[in-house]
Amino acid sequence: MVPDGPVVPYYKIMQGAKESFTKFVERLTRTIEVQVTEVAPILVTSSRHEPYRLRLTEALHLRTADWTFLSINIKEQGAWPVQGKELVIMGDCKYTPQEVEILPGVLVNNLGDLVLWLRCTHPPTFIPKGQVIAQIIPTRGPNNTPVACPVQAITEERPRVDCEFRVGGETLNIRGLLDTGAHVTVVPAKDWPSHWVLQDVVGHVQGVGGLQLARQSRSIVQIKGPKGQLANIRPFVLDYKEPLLGRDLMSQWGVKIDIPDPSVEISVASIDERPTKKLNWLTNEPVWVEQWPLSKTKLKALEELVKEQLAKGHIVETDSPWNSPVFVIQKPGKDKWRLLQDLSQINNVIEDMGTLQPGMPSPTMLPQNWQLAVIDIKDCFFQIPLHPDDAPRFAFSVPTINREAPRRRYHWRVLPQGMKNSPVICQWYVASLLSPVRAAVGQAIIYHYMDDVLVCAPNDDMLSHVLGLTVDALVAAGFELQEEKVQRMPPWKYLGLEIGKRTIVPQKLAIKTKVSSLADVHQLCGALNWVRPWLGLTTNDLAPLFNLLKGGEELSSPRVLTPEAEKALEKVQDAMSKRQAHRFDPELPFKFIIMGKLPHLHGMIFQWRNIPKKD
């Protein structure tokens, strides 16, 4: 419905000499509006038989190779293909993860539930939210013309609302129809109070039973909506059957029409079930190790840490017959504490899972000048669930001062620090999240070791794409990622190394040479473990340092560097000042050489660039 008016050729619409530009634009707009037929928008496809890709609306974990099914949620879609009566469903060679197999089939195009059958060929695998899982290809429709229709719930009730018209001190209650096709608000003459003054308007109003002479309220009418929204307009009064609330009113009310994006992608609904691995136990007899005493300062720190973990849902109260002692250590240079649990006795009754990743990935296999990003996952273990059957066995007690009250007992719901299989489960869990990302990105490289993830790509655009997929997969699984912990610029620090665009050197470690306790030795050996493979040091080279770990179990037990240990530290510092490696050059061939004498032979894979000598 638009106000009627004379039709003026576009080339004759000129700005008057004294007419402001804004007034001219308003007049131009009105003149054009009466000449342009308003066509209801329709959604069409860009090409015939364009595939409709299905994305997961929730993360999915496939733990077995059995066929399973997912229900496609049609109600959430803003558009649905209507080409013909049949749709072909199949995997998408570009987007479907390699380890996921889709059962091809033909679907009848109705608005009931559609079922997608799929299975994992190499379980387990974790598919993140938003991952394309399959595609639907429409068959030919009537006249071979591709179209798509918006999906909306249509009922017998049209969108009507109650509102209050106010002129002066008088009110009029009206139930009107929200009409987005009406430029103006219309009130039937039979409902308009006779003493509310009207005035004739030049022109007509078209679209309501043909053309009608226009009459409009002389006074500004305040119209109050169902939730107190206010609008001040001058409605039109016509011979019509019901009130129409037009866009002049709705714009002041701030009415919005919530229509889903006209995407041709169809979502698949699934249940987000986080994967877990069950531990194998050598005994089911409860293991109870009594909690040792803690100082008042450490007990206070323990209580704060327990309160924090309880709030995060990492622990729950328990009456488990299992118990292992807990303790706290202060973080170096910080007024913060770290919660640890002595699980040595528990580890003795857990079957070892073995090693999934026997060593760290070598960054020398990253092509020179490719772009990198490094992600440090915060508190990785605390985002990985324990199997519900295993969780009560990782219980601990929080003592009270002078036993003034019963101690409180808790058990972990996530991987505890110190459990011997926690690193293996962590590697398996994170790998299951990154597996579909690796399959989707093709040329890009993703390194993963424990809670460190490195992404490498030939250019910035691909790196941004791969990094986005990786972050989405981790965040969907509940991991916390801090923006400041994502390294985007060189040199990148990764697994004890500094990686440049071409070279790789060990990080400059602040080696603590003043050792006074077992805790100091733990910290020293832990730092050296990261760089030992890159420094070319053997276990025998560092044996004098690792021997200091033997002895008392208390972290506060005294330790002193032996002369042999001091020589080992000197060897470490010397190696750190000399070692350097390079990222490989994609333009050079790899060579292999065997060195040594029987029975001790060594192999080396290398690249060599011939640089001509200068005269």
Residues 6 or more apart in contact with residue 11 via CB below 8 angstroms: none
Closest CA to 558 of 545, 570, 548: 548
Region 16-25: mean pLDDT is 72
Which pLDDT score is estimated for 259?
A: 56
What does the block give as tokens for 592? 């292999």
pLDDT at 390: 94
The segment with the largest mean pLDDT, out of 271-275, 330-334, 501-505, is: 501-505
- Range picked from 24-28, 175-179, 346-350 for highest mean pLDDT: 346-350
pLDDT (tens digit per residue) in 504-534? 777 766 666 677 788 788 777 777 776 676 6
Higher pLDDT, 312 or 83: 312
The tens digit of pLDDT for each residue in 318-371 reads 999 999 999 888 877 677 888 889 998 999 999 998 877 777 788 888 888 888
At residue 220's C-alpha, the angle toward residues 218 and 225, to 5°, is 135
DSSP-based three-state secondary structure for 593: strand
In contact, 71 and 113? CB cutoff 8 Å: yes
Are 415 and 479 a contacting pair, CB within 8 Å?
A: no
**CA end-to-end distance (rounded Å), the chain:** 89
Residue-wise pLDDT tens digits, 216-231: 888 888 899 888 888 8
Contact present, 181 and 174 (Cβ < 8 Å): no
User: Does residue 156 surpass a pLDDT of 90?
Assistant: no
DSSP per-residue codes, 251-311 = HHHT---------S-EEEE--------PPPBS--S--B-PPPP--HHHHHHHHHHHHHHHH
When comparing pLDDT for 607 and 306, which is higher?
Answer: 306
Residues 124 and 61: beta-carbon distance below 8 Å:
yes
Cβ(148)–Cβ(43) below 8 Å? yes
Cβ neighbours, 10 Å, residue 187: 24
Residue 394 — very low, low, confident or very high, per pLDDT cuts 50/70/90? very high
- Low-confidence winner among 48-52, 184-188, 401-405, 558-562 (lowest mean pLDDT): 48-52
The pair of structure tokens assigned to 482 is 């801090």
For residue 378, give the nearest of 312, 444, 301, 286 by alpha carbon. 312
Percentage of the chain beyond pLDDT 90 is: 12
Q: What mean pLDDT, rounded, does the chain reach?
A: 77
Q: What is the pTM of this model?
A: 0.50
Which positions are annotated as active-site residues? 179
> What is the structure's pLDDT at 323?
94
Say whether pLDDT at 305 is over 60: yes
Q: Which of 253, 250, 258 is nearest to 76 (CA)?
A: 258
Residue 282 has pLDDT above 90, yes or no: yes
The pLDDT value recorded for residue 568 is 84
* Domains within the chain, CATH numbers bracketed: 2-33 (no CATH), 52-150 (2.70.40.10), 160-253 (2.40.70.10), 296-369+378-440+459-467 (3.10.10.10), 503-582 (3.30.70.270)
| Coil, helix or strand at residue 435 | helix
Distance CA 205, CA 217 (A): 14
Structure tokens at 224: 């109050």
AA identity, residue 375: I
Q: Give the best-scoring range by mean pLDDT among 51-55, 222-226, 254-258, 598-602.
A: 222-226
pLDDT at 59: 76
> Are the C-beta atoms of residues 517 and 560 closer than 8 Å to each other?
no
What pLDDT, in 10s, does the model give residues 81-137? 444 456 777 887 777 887 888 877 766 555 455 677 888 887 778 787 778 888 877
Half-sphere exposure of 492 (CA within 13 A, CB side): 27
Contact 186, 208 (CB under 8 A): yes
Q: Which of 15-19, 83-87, 92-96, 407-411 has the lowest mean pLDDT?
A: 83-87
List the Cα angle 240/241/244 in 5-degree steps: 75
pLDDT digits (tens, 9 = 90+) for 450-462: 888 999 999 888 8
Q: At residue 175, does pLDDT exceed 50? A: yes
Beta bridge partners of 428: none
Higher-confidence position of 440 and 275: 440
Can you give the pLDDT at residue 288? 94
Neighbours of 577 (CB within 10 A): 11
CA–CA distances in Å: residue 103 to residues 93, 135, 151, 270: 13, 11, 27, 17
